[in-house]
Amino acid sequence: MRPYDTETERLAAAARAALVREIDAEEAWSGDPVWREAFAAVPRHLFVPYYYVAGPRGYERRWGESPDPEARARWVRGAYEDVPLVTRLRDGELVSSSSQPSLMARMLVALEVADGARVLEVGAGTGYNAALLAHRLGDDGLVTTVDLEPEITESARQHLAAAGHHPAVVTGDGTRGVPERAPFDRIIATCELTTVPRAWLAQCRPDGRILAPLATGLLALTVRDATGGEGRFLPRAAYFVPLRGECRRAPDAVSLAGLPGGAREQESFRFLLALTRGALDPQEAYALWEREGMPERDRYGVTVGGEHVWAWLDEPEGPYAWPLP
């Protein structure tokens, strides 16, 4: 990747500073301000040399090496907007993206990383999140990122090198972890799951932490041992590209006809439907949601124990619990 011109770098520095101020205003890293330094230092534009913006005629490609100075300026300003960026499409379908920076900040804070921690990231994407971790922990082999697609891991490796970072970038099925680099103190997924892969528990130290998107929420699970763990969801919603390689069937169509309009529009109700899909039908889910005071995400949790994985409301032992795959 060749260096960008001086004007582009000037615009990038100003836009990066503005992004940090925006995340400051949301207090996204109030629990661990060291991440502010990471976002101020790591140049996001190096990780998105091009991306796609939805428009009335489909996706518009913004490119950092466009011959048009105005187009380059739009690209670099967009690279530092607090929004997710579509970075790869296949047959019109989203394959990979760079997550919303403020959400990334909240996830990194929630990961509760300490100096010297070994971290596995599942879903390499552009490499930007791995760069933030490497800035925090150093390039001494503590950070590993894995993705199924060789094209994605190769471009992530190039982006990371351009930014001066060299974490381990592995091509493989993220559901299987990276056993040759285990054990890990923390595992963070930047892709949507349907359950907690057992391999992650086996590769994470006892009292380690797994942070993973599940059913439009973020599960923070504390590992008990190689076969079990438990945790709750964070309060905020989170939407990610599905994890490739995970065994998953196409989701069943869910009809919300007959439910009050307010319920259909409530994120907390849709989260319950996503979490319990197959275990509760919409009418049962609505009755529970209404009876229990329209619970938000942080009242739900997940337990992995022995051969079983289950989600629950308020308490792991019920009375409301549902099996996960």
pLDDT tens column, 240-288:
888 765 444 444 445 555 566 665 568 899 999 999 987 888 999 999 9
Same domain, 188 and 271: no
**Is 186 domain-assigned?**
yes
**Is 252 domain-assigned?**
no
The pLDDT of residue 298: 97
The pLDDT of residue 57: 79
Same domain, 216 and 289: no
d(CA 128, CA 130): 5
**Is 119 domain-assigned?**
yes
**Is 245 domain-assigned?**
no
Same domain, 72 and 149: yes
The pLDDT of residue 91: 76
Same domain, 166 and 107: yes
Which CA distances in Å does 224 have to 6, 195, 214, 246? 51, 17, 20, 23
Tell me which of 218, 233, 248 is where a domain ends: 233
Q: Nearest-5° angle of CA 230, CA 233, CA 237?
A: 155
Is the bond leading into 319 cis (omega within 30 degrees of zero)?
Answer: yes
Same domain, 186 and 293: no
In the numeric block, which tokens belong to residue 121? 């990231």
Same domain, 148 and 212: yes
Q: Give the predicted TM-score (pTM) of the model.
A: 0.92
**Is 155 domain-assigned?**
yes
Same domain, 156 and 225: yes
The pLDDT of residue 250: 40
Instruction: Kindly give the parts of the chain with pLDDT less than 70.
Output: 1-3, 244-265
In the numeric block, which tokens belong to residue 264? 């259909």
DSSP β-ladder status, 204-214 and 143-147: unpaired
Find the CATH number of the domain harbouring 75: 3.40.50.150
Same domain, 137 and 44: yes
**Is 240 domain-assigned?**
no
The pLDDT of residue 259: 67
Same domain, 183 and 276: no
d(CA 181, CA 120): 9
Q: Which of 96, 97, 102, 155 is catalytic?
A: 96
Same domain, 99 and 205: yes
Q: Which domain holds residue 307?
A: 261-323
Q: Nearest-5° angle of CA 10, CA 130, CA 107?
A: 100
**Is 96 noted as a catalytic residue in this protein?**
yes
d(CA 130, CA 303): 28
Largest CA distance in the chain: 62
The candidate with the shortest Cα–Cα distance to 191, out of 250, 123, 248, is: 123
The count of structural domains within the chain is 2
Burial 147-157 (b: 16+ CB within 10 A, else e): bbbeebbebbb
The pLDDT of residue 23: 95
Same domain, 282 and 192: no
The pLDDT of residue 179: 98
Same domain, 186 and 280: no
